[in-house]
Structure 1
Amino acid sequence: MDQTDATGAAPPVVRGDDGLARPTWAATDPLLRDYYDTEWGMPVRDEHGLYERISLEAFQAGLSWATILRKRPAFREAFHNFDPDAVAQFTDADVERLLADAGIVRNRMKIAAAITNAKATVALRAEGGLVDFVWSFQPATTPAPRSYAEIQTTSPESVALSKGLRAKGFAFVGPTTMHALMEAIGMIDTHLVDSHRRGTSGVWASVPLHGALSGDAR
């Protein structure tokens, strides 16, 4: 399939053999395509799922998301299915075990952050829990991007979420990583307007979209 427009540039979305339009990053690799069609941008409102996604977003820093998805089964096994209570009890011996596990990303700082964040997740229960805390940073509106150029990598809300989580003892939760998290869990909808997944989360059904009328996006 020709994936260039009249200018020779790749179009924002590509229509697959099933007739559905997806962004180019999710159009060819079967693993990414399935993730895009079933998970990305859907609401995550349980502690276990949110802790896992925070952990994996941190491990993804500097790497491709495809790499993380391919390693996700090994990550889940190595981190006790991302049970915060279990990971919070990890010792130095567990860190060494993880550093020797070729199935995951073997980065000492990221492994330490996952353990630190498990402890912070458990501690946050006394203040209402991780889910309520993270979702409290949901913006009032969501972008309506028509091209990749209109999708930001940070936002005032992701900066605030990063600062808030750091204040609660979390690590490896920078503004860019938190913006990616917000996209992944449906706190904002950055599906391209022409994508078949636009609006499927249900989070923004009755909420204004940036640029929905004017065509301009944040």
Structure 2
Amino acid sequence: MKLTDTAQLADLHARIDAACQRLEINGAQGLPDPAEWAILPRHDDDRALFEELCFHMFAAGFSRDVVRQKWPATRSAFADFDIAELAAWDGARLTPLLTDRALIRNRRKIESVVHNAGVVQALAAEHGSFKAWLGSYPAGQLHLLHKEIARRFASVGPSAGEWFLLTAGFAYYFRTDHAQRLLQRLGLLPARVRPEDFNAVMEAVHQAGGASRWAVSAQMFRFASGFHLREGICQESPRCPKCPLWDYCDHFNQAPAAD
């Protein structure tokens, strides 16, 4: 299979999508749309983007539902995430928050809100706004933005940064070992994969088939992992005879045996 063959790429995703629908467990919920994981419905300004970033920072390693329940109190405690105000806070302003049972009482994350407000303020001073800095990375380089977010912002690891980009509406691909393994078996990725390689393949599939970027990411993950399916097809031990992609596959390049 070649990355330049748009007809094959469109057919590839159509087969994966059909297989996921056929194998879906009755009543099971698929992967949620990223918008369902956001704390805000819109991200029109720096304050909203900063709040979304902080939400995913707090949610990392915790129950997302618990963090969501505590979020009205969290928003109030942190001055509605007013960036200029938070950037000026000192340690004395944070001390009462560390014992407030209405909040997630994690010292490192609480202190990181203030630190990160300063980071956003500095980026806005240099680029005009935090939103402008985020938007300065084109779709094909969002893996670099993801890396920069993790480097610049305290307590924002790869998972939190990834969910921030997804929920804030950026064309970021949900990268998993499962999807990467599938694409390697199809000959679309090399053995040693760079983030830009993965993004390029996913973008090509998105452009060829017209499915949303999230749908492309989610269905490849489900197909390869078996998430909420009766069985996974392209798991670590693949079920090649049942795979609808066998004729595209470098891993199994002969017709499957009949069931």
**TM-score (structure 2 length as normaliser):** 0.53
CA separation in 2, counterparts of 1:124 and 1:6? 47
Alignment of 1:7-86 (within 5 A): 9=25, 13=29, 23=30, 36=36, 44-86=43-85
Q: 1:125 maps to which residue? A: 124
| Aligned with 1:164 (options 148, 166, 175) | 148
Q: Deviations over 1:37-87 (max 9, x none)?
A: 9x6796523100011111111000111222221111001110000001111
CA separation in 2, counterparts of 1:118 and 1:136? 20
Residue ranges of structure 1 left out of the alignment (5+ in a row): 14-22, 27-34, 141-155, 192-206
Q: 1:100 maps to which residue? A: 99
Whether 1:183 and 2:142 are equivalent positions in the alignment is: no
Q: 2:206 maps to which residue? A: 210
The structure-2 alpha-carbon separation of the partners of 1:209 and 1:135, relative to structure 1 and needing over 3 Å to count, comes to farther
TM superposition shift of 1:8: 7.9
CA separation in 1, counterparts of 2:207 and 2:122? 39
Amino acid at match of 1:163: K
CA separation in 1, counterparts of 2:47 and 2:40? 17
RMSD: 3.6
TM superposition shift of 1:166: 5.1
Q: 1:89 maps to which residue? A: 88
Residue ranges of structure 2 left out of the alignment (5+ in a row): 1-20, 175-202, 218-259
**TM-score (structure 1 length as normaliser):** 0.62
Give the conservation status (yes or no) of the 8 Å contact 2:40–2:52. no
- How many positions carry a matched residue from both structures? 165
Q: Secondary structure at the match of 1:188?
A: coil
Q: 1:136 maps to which residue? A: 136
Q: Which has the higher helix share?
A: 2
CA separation in 1, counterparts of 2:56 and 2:137? 18
Larger Rg, first or second structure (1 or 2): 2
